[in-house]
């Protein structure tokens, strides 16, 4: 895997914050009333019927208004400068959040919480 | 219940959603001047640049109005009878309302300029129709002169550069983006724009025109083929003012988006509301505020009780890979302390007053800037935060365990 990714620019949708002995992962909260959507100037960000906030790369113009609004710092950019965010791996081959499955310390959970 | 919305932009669409969050049955009539469904105005420059397709600029899917039981009336509102609660259209028709929301936006402002009538190809830049017209007028040999180095003028410059021979931007202000940047930050942006092929003539503007030549205030002359006038906008509020409604530069609203006239609300670029960082009401004609204000108005029109009581100006804009974000208030406040953080190709300026973040300007490293915006919108007391650490690296660590548990939940 390390070899396969050599020289590739990796643009993760999740990031780990740390300080002292604390480490934790932060990714999109899929908010009930997402602020990022309120700022989107292109209609690229939408919340689907299941409550998942997704990004349409064909529509995104990379203005980053969503990044200016997200209170959790969860929006990042792809190599083509469009927006990248956690979509719960539902669009890729995993079909379920790979970070949860892959975390050896079980430090990431996938659950619904009340805001 | 008869709801009427005048205007059909993002504020109107959010108002419809606000109404429908509480009332599925009331009749909603949308009075629209443009024949398009609501579309995202900021995309008109991306359309010119080729990044947005015309069929992709709508605010909502094609069946939005039908699904939400809205009737669209194409026309222009010219009067309000507040006693009888009716709107008069230019056609003479009258439309009754129980609850009204004004989302009429703004129109380009073009001051009288000598000889402007001799210019054959001149345009303003606010609607998708303007983009289509400009597109027809330009070719690869066109020399474009844009008057106005604000957000609209510069986005137009970016949209046109690769399609024409040259783009020159002039502005009476001595710097670019004078409404959102200070001198030093504006200089960084200007240099970047120049490196990308845009020419500037600042602290200077066209005084008169003779056909395809602009004669400048400083004595020069700029020949051009296509002229774009981006001198600013004025809210469309005439009919509300005539009905006796309270206006400043735009329609004055309170935190529930209610105007001074009963049963009439306003949202978006035509409204003026309290800016928590400025300490007074002002126009904050920006998309997030149009959406938040429109939704709030809609909920209240339908009998709910929503407040939009943390409005602040906020901007995110980029030109050829250089991003900048601004929020809140930062100019002309001598009580505010500035903290600066400079990195490679990046500058961050934070403005703090009474231990609260009231504004920032960031150019370059805009990662996770929403954490700063949130500090402004929630007027968080910074005494308990390691602000220096946050300024270097926006993240949730300095907020402490309790906040993280609350916001991130689970195992954090």
Q: What is the DSSP string of B367-409?
A: TTTHHHHHHHHTT--GGGS-HHHHHHS--SGGGHHHHHHHHH-
**A107/B395 CB distance under 8 A:** no
Domain end (from B187, B209, B231): B231
| Position B411 pLDDT exceeds 60 | no
- For domain A15-102, give its CATH number from 3.40.50.720, 3.30.70.20, 3.50.30.50, 3.40.50.620: 3.30.70.20
Render pLDDT for B27-41 as a digit per residue (tens, 0 to 9). 999 999 988 899 999
Q: What is the mean pLDDT of residues B300-310?
A: 98
Closest partner CB to A64 (pick from B60, B318, B371) = B318
Number of domains in chain B: 3
- Decide if A68 and B370 are in contact by the 8 Å CB cutoff: yes
| Continuous segment of H or E residues that includes residue B238 | helix B238-242
From chain B, the residues in CB contact with A19 under 8 A are 397
- Shared domain for B179 and B220, answered yes or no, is yes
Are the beta carbons of B370 and A24 separated by less than 8 Å? no
CA distances to B70, B152, B314 from B23, in Å: 13, 37, 31
User: pLDDT, tens digit, for every residue of B160-169?
Assistant: 999 999 999 9
CA gap B385, B357 in Å, rounded: 11
**Long-range contacts of B79-82, Cβ-Cβ distance < 8 Å, separation of 24 or more:** B79/B239, B79/B242, B79/B243, B80/B239, B80/B240, B80/B242, B80/B243, B80/B245, B80/B261, B80/B264, B81/B243, B82/B243, B82/B244, B82/B261, B82/B262, B82/B264
What is the Cα–Cα distance from B186 to B196, expressed in whole angstroms? Answer: 15
Average pLDDT of every residue of chain B: 95
Nearest to A57 by CA among A70, A45, A75: A45
CB count, 10 Å around CB of A74?
24
Residue B313 lies in a domain: no
Same domain membership, residue B135 and residue B39:
no
pLDDT value for B333: 67
Output the domain CATH number for residue B216: 3.50.50.60
Closest Cα partner for A14 from A98, A113, A90, A94? A98
> What would the DSSP string read from start to end of A25-79?
EE-----SS-HHHHH-SSS-EEE-TTS-EEE-TTT-----HHHHH-TT---EE-T
CA distance A13 to B401: 23
Q: Are residues B377 and B353 in the same domain?
A: yes
Same domain, B103 and B171: no
A76 touching B (Cβ < 8 Å): yes
Residues B248 and B264 in one domain: yes
Indicate if B128 and B274 belong to the same structural domain: no
Testing the interface with B: which of A30, A43, A112 to mutate, by most B Cβ within 10 A?
A: A43
Co-location of B254 and B153 in the same domain: no
Q: B375-386: b or e for each residue (b if 16 or more CB lie within 10 Å)?
A: bbbebbebeebe
CATH code for position B381: 3.30.390.30
Q: Give B208's strand partners.
A: B114, B215
My answer on whether B86 and B27 are in the same domain is yes
Q: Residues of chain B with pLDDT > 90: what percent?
A: 92
Average pLDDT score over chain A: 90
- Calpha distance B285→B307 (Å, rounded): 18
Residue B271 bridge partners (DSSP): B251
Residue B412's pLDDT band, with cuts at 50, 70 and 90, is very low
In the prediction, which pLDDT does A83 show?
Answer: 96
pLDDT of residue B330: 84
Whether residues B100 and B134 share a domain: the answer is no
Token output for B221: 């002359």
Asked if B38 and B99 sit in the same domain, the reply is: yes
Contact: B397, A58; criterion CB under 8 Å: no
Final residue of a domain: which of B213, B231, B249? B231
pLDDT in tens, B350-400: 999 999 999 999 999 999 999 999 999 999 999 989 999 999 999 999 998
Each residue's pLDDT tens digit, A1-35? 667 778 788 888 999 999 888 899 999 999 999 99
Determine the residue of chain A that is closest to B317 in CA distance: A63
In terms of residue numbers, what domain contains B24? 2-107+234-301
Q: pLDDT above 70 covers what percent of chain A?
A: 97
Q: End-to-end CA distance of chain A, in Å?
A: 38
- Are B239 and B103 in the same domain? yes
The arithmetic mean of pLDDT across residues B247-275, rounded, is 98
pLDDT tens for each residue of B126-159: 999 999 999 999 999 999 999 999 999 999 999 9
Residue B247 has pLDDT above 60, yes or no: yes
Domain boundary among B267, B301, B335: B301
Tell whether B309 is covered by a domain: no
The answer to whether position B75 is within a domain reads yes
Q: State the pLDDT at residue B324.
A: 97
Q: How far is residue B351 from each of residues A101, B326, B343, B387, B412, measured CA to CA in Å?
A: 42, 11, 18, 12, 31
Note the ipTM here: 0.94
- Using the Cβ of A31 and the Cβ atoms of chain B, whether some distance falls under 8 Å is answered with no
Q: Is A41's CB within 8 Å of B40's CB?
A: yes
B13 and B78 assigned to the same domain: yes
């Amino acid at each position: 895997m390390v070899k396969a990714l050599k020289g590739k620019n990796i643009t993760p949708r999740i990031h780990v914050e740390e300080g002292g002995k604390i480490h934790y992962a932060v990714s999109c909260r899929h908010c009930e009333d997402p602020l990022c959507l309120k700022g989107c100037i292109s209609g690229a960000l939408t919340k689907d019927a299941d409550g998942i906030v997704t990004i349409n790369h064909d529509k995104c113009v990379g203005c980053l208004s969503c990044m200016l609004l997200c209170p959790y710092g969860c929006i990042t950019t792809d190599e083509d400068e469009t927006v990248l965010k956690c979509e719960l791996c539902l669009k890729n081959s995993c079909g379920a959040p790979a970070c949860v499955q892959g975390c050896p310390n079980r430090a990431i959970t996938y659950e619904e919480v009340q805001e | 219940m008869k709801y009427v919305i005048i205007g059909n932009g993002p504020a109107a669409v959010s108002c419809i959603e606000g109404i429908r969050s509480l009332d599925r049955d009331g009749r909603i009539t949308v009075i629209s001047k443009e024949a398009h469904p609501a579309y995202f105005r900021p995309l008109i420059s991306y359309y010119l640049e080729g990044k947005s397709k015309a069929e992709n600029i709508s605010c909502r899917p094609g069946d939005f109005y039908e699904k939400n039981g809205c009737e669209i009336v194409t026309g222009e509102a010219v009067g309000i009878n507040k006693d009888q609660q009716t709107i008069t259209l230019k056609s003479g028709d009258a439309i009754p309302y129980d609850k009204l929301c004004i989302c009429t936006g703004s129109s380009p402002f073009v001051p009288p300029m000598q000889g402007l009538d001799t210019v054959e190809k001149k345009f303003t830049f606010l609607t998708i129709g303007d983009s289509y017209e400009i597109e027809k007028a330009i070719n690869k040999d066109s020399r474009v002169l844009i008057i106005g180095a604000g957000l609209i003028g510069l986005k137009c410059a970016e949209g046109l550069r690769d399609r024409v021979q040259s783009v020159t931007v002039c502005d009476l202000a001595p710097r670019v983006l004078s409404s959102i940047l200070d001198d030093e930050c504006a200089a960084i942006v200007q240099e970047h724009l120049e490196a990308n092929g845009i020419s500037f003539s600042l602290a200077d503007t066209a005084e008169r025109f003779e056909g395809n030549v602009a004669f400048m205030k400083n004595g020069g002359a700029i020949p051009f083929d296509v002229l774009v006038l981006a001198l600013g906008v004025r809210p469309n509020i005439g009919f509300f003012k005539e009905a006796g409604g309270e206006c400043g530069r735009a329609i004055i609203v309170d935190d529930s988006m209610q105007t001074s006239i009963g049963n009439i609300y306003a949202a978006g670029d035509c409204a003026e509301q309290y800016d928590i960082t400025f300490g007074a009401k002002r126009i904050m004609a920006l998309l997030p505020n149009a959406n938040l204000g429109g939704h709030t108005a809609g909920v209240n029109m339908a009998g709910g009780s929503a407040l939009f009581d943390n409005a602040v100006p906020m901007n995110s804009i980029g030109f050829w890979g250089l991003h900048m974000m601004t929020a809140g208030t930062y100019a002309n406040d001598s009580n505010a302390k500035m903290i600066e953080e400079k990195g490679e190709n990046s500058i961050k300026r934070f403005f703090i007053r009474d231990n609260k973040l009231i504004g920032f300007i960031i150019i370059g490293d805009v990662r996770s800037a929403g954490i700063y915006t949130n500090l402004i919108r929630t007027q968080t007391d910074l005494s308990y935060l390691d602000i220096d650490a946050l300024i270097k690296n926006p993240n949730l660590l300095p907020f402490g365990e309790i906040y993280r548990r609350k916001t991130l939940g689970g195992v954090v």
